[in-house]
Structure 1
C-alpha cells in the first residue's frame, strides 16, 4: 500500500511539473506575506475573543459545572493563563476562514485554473467540518468523559481538577476531534493531485477502518466496544464521504469529462 501511494505521489509531482513555476525567493516572499497576514488575522480574532472572555471561559467549564464541579487554581498564574489560552483558541477559530484563505492563496499558483474553483467549497467544508468535530467533542465526548472519569472511576475520591490539567484535556479532545473530522478534506487533496482515487480507497478500506477504531479507542472515555463503535461511526461516515469526493475530483475523471465535452 505504501509503495503504491509513493508511486502515485511521484506521478502527481511529474504532472505538476508542466505548470509555470516560481523561484525559491519568490516562494519565500509569498510565504512571508501569507504568514504576516495570517498573524494579523489571528490577532484580530484574539481581540474579538477577549471581548467575550467571561462567556467563553464559562462555556469551556460547562462540562464540569453540569456535574457540580469547579476548577481549582493551584498556581497564581493559572487564572490569567486560562484566559489567555481561551482567547488564543477562540481567536484562532474566529480567524480560521481568513487564515485558510491565505493558505489557499499560497498553494493556488501550483494548481490548474479549473482546480481553483474549489476555493469556496474548500474553505466552507474545512471550517464546517472542524466546527462539527469540535461540537461533537464538546456536546458528547467531554460530558461523557466527565461522567465516566469523575463520577465513575473517581467516585471514591475527592475531586480537585486543576485549571491547567483541564485545559489541556479540553483542547486535546476538541482540537483532536476537529482535526479528525477534516478527513474528507485530506482525501479531497490526495485525490485532486492524483495520489489516491475512489477505487484505491475502497480497496484498502479495511486498513482505514482499523485506523479509525484505533483513534476511537484513544479518544473514547468509555472502554467498551459499544462506546468505541459510537465514536468511530462518524469517522467511518466521513471516510466514505471522502471516497465519494475522490470519485469526482480525481484528475482522470475530470480529463475524461473534458474529453467527452470536446468530442
Structure 2
C-alpha cells in the first residue's frame, strides 16, 4: 500500500500541470481573445502557487513539525513513526497547503468576475484572520504556537497579497468600464 501511495502522490504532482494544460486547450476556443491572456496568467499562477505550497511543506513545515514531534520523545522512549503514517501526513499537508496557496488566484478570479471587491476583503479581514488561525491550528499536528505560526503567517501574507491583487484588478476593470462608456 505504501508503494501505491508514493506512486499516486508522485503521479499527481507531476501530472497536475499537464492536466491543467489540456483542460485549458479544450476551453480556449470558447474564451474571447482579450480574455485568453488573463486565463493563461491565471493558470500559470495557479500551478506556481500550488507547487509553492508543496515546497513550503517540504522545506519549512515538515522539518519543523518533525523536530517538534521528536522532541516529545524522551530518552527512554522510542519514536514509532511508521512510514505509511508519515507519508499520509506528508500527502495531506502538501495537498492542503497547495490548495490554500491558491487563495490569491481564487480572489483574482472572483474579483475579475465582480463577485467580490477589495473593500469586501478589507472589511472581512478580521474574520479571515480568525479563520486562518483556525486552519493553522487544524493543519499543524502539534499545539505549540511556533508550528501554528509557520502555517498562519504565510496564509495571512497570502490574504494580504490577495487584497492587493484585488485592488489592482478592480482598478483595471473600472478603467476598462470608463473607456467603453466614453
Q: Could you state the TM-score of these two structures normalised by the residue count of structure 2?
A: 0.85
Partner of 1:225: 145
1:194 paired residue among 101, 114, 120? 114
Partner of 2:49: 129
What's the RMSD between the two structures over aligned residues?
Answer: 2.4
Structure 2: runs of 5+ lacking an equivalent: none
Matches within 5 A, 1:61-210: 81-105=1-25, 112-149=32-69, 151-155=70-74, 156-210=76-130
Change (3 A) 1:113 1:194: farther
Change (3 A) 1:246 1:113: farther
Matches within 5 A, 1:239-250: 239-250=159-170
Q: CA deviation at 1:101?
A: 2.4
Task: Encode CA deviations 1:20-50: one digit per residue, 9 max, x unaligned.
Answer: xxxxxxxxxxxxxxxxxxxxxxxxxxxxxxx
Aligned residues: 181
Change (3 A) 1:161 1:226: closer
Relative contact order: is structure 1 or structure 2 higher (C-alpha 8 Å, sep ≥ 6)?
2
Find the aligned partners of 2:128 and 2:22 in 1 and give their Cα distance: 31
- Asked if the contact 1:188/1:242 (under 8 Å) is kept, the reply is yes
- Asked if the contact 1:209/1:236 (under 8 Å) is kept, the reply is yes
- Asked if the contact 2:133/2:148 (under 8 Å) is kept, the reply is yes
Find the aligned partners of 2:103 and 2:59 in 1 and give their Cα distance: 20
Find the aligned partners of 1:148 and 1:256 in 2 and give their Cα distance: 51
- Asked if the contact 1:141/1:221 (under 8 Å) is kept, the reply is no
Structure 1: runs of 5+ lacking an equivalent: 1-80
Find the aligned partners of 2:89 and 2:13 in 1 and give their Cα distance: 18
- Asked if the contact 1:133/1:174 (under 8 Å) is kept, the reply is yes
Find the aligned partners of 2:35 and 2:59 in 1 and give their Cα distance: 36
Partner-residue secondary structure (3-state), 2:137: helix
**Structure 1 runs, 4 residues or longer, greater than 6 Å off:** none
- Asked if the contact 2:64/2:147 (under 8 Å) is kept, the reply is no
Q: Could you state the TM-score of these two structures normalised by the residue count of structure 1?
A: 0.61
Change (3 A) 1:224 1:184: same
Find the aligned partners of 2:52 and 2:5 in 1 and give their Cα distance: 21
Partner of 2:178: 259
- The structure with more radius of gyration: 1
